[in-house]
Amino acid sequence: MGRRNGSLILSFRALRRLIGILGMALPLVCFAGGLAFGGESLQRSISSYYYTNVRDFFVGLMLGMSFFMMSYLGHEAIDTLANMATGLAGIGVGLFPCMSDAPAAKVGFFQLPESCSDIVHIACAGTFFVVLALSSLFLFTRTEAGKEPTAQKRKRNAIYIACGCVMLATLLALVLINLYMSDAAKERTRAIFIAETLLLEAFGISWLVKGETIFRDRPAMAATVPPRPSA
């Protein structure tokens, strides 16, 4: 029974690491794949890669990462609820594209008008990152009731808090970019792509740490009592 429980714990850790790796890989592979195989320059946002040669990768990775998150059951109901919300939002990001160069066109799996698909995409992306940030700040940092956090857990908590703050700050930056930056400036600076990449890297680091890739708790050494000499 103990061996089975240990295998389950390892599986959960591996799943957390995989989610983190997929999140961190998304912007990097989109850029490299678009440039190497499609001759695409850096796009204005990660979502814009939907309209390039890496569309299948973008959609597949978003859906895969989202399904992995939905299959990850947390220790408490709030963990599972957060993962389900994030997973469903991530599916929406993949299935409802935005920023089409043909605003009148119908886009995506559901062939919605681009303006409608934009709204759904932005709502899903906002939900995706807000829930991830709040999970990193408030769910990942918890310690079991009645237990003191270990030294390694305190280090992990510091990283969770830093990643959550980066995600929230970058989300605020994205709002300001879209409100106050001209389209020409967005194209020139690629500010949206850079901000989204920071978001995904912070998210990935948080989940890699959650998988105890670094600062792993050391297994407690079982106390051994030497046998008493026979009388």
In this prediction the pTM is 0.85
Give the rounded percent of residues in the chain with a pLDDT score beyond 90: 65
- Under 8 Å CB-to-CB from 18, ≥6 apart: which residues? 68
Distance (Å, rounded) from C-alpha 50 to C-alpha 186? Answer: 18
- Give the Cα-Cα-Cα angle 133, 47, 42 (nearest 5 degrees): 110
pLDDT tens-digit readout, 40-99: 999 999 999 999 999 999 999 999 999 988 887 777 889 999 999 999 999 999 999 998
DSSP the chain: -HHHHHHHHHHHHHHHHHHHHHHHHHHHHHHHHHHHHH-PPPPSSSGGGGGSTTHHHHHHHHHHHHHHHHH---SSHHHHHHHHHHHHHHHHHHHS----S-TTSEETTTTEEHHHHHHHHHHHHHHHHHHHHHIIIIITT---TT-PPPHHHHHHHHHHHHHHHHHHHHHHHHHHHHHHS-HHHHHHH-HHHHHHHHHHHHHHHHHHHHTTSSSPPPPPPPP--PPPPP-
Please, how many CA atoms are within 13 Å of residue 73, restricted to the half-sphere of its CB?
A: 3
| Residue (of 161, 167, 164, 163) closest to 125 by Cα position | 167
**28: Cα within 13 Å, side-chain hemisphere:** 9
pLDDT tens column, 175-216 = 999 999 998 999 899 999 999 999 999 999 999 998 888 778
Instruction: Determine the residue type at 75.
Output: H
User: What is the structure's pLDDT at 230?
Assistant: 43
**C-alpha 111: how far from its chain's center?**
27
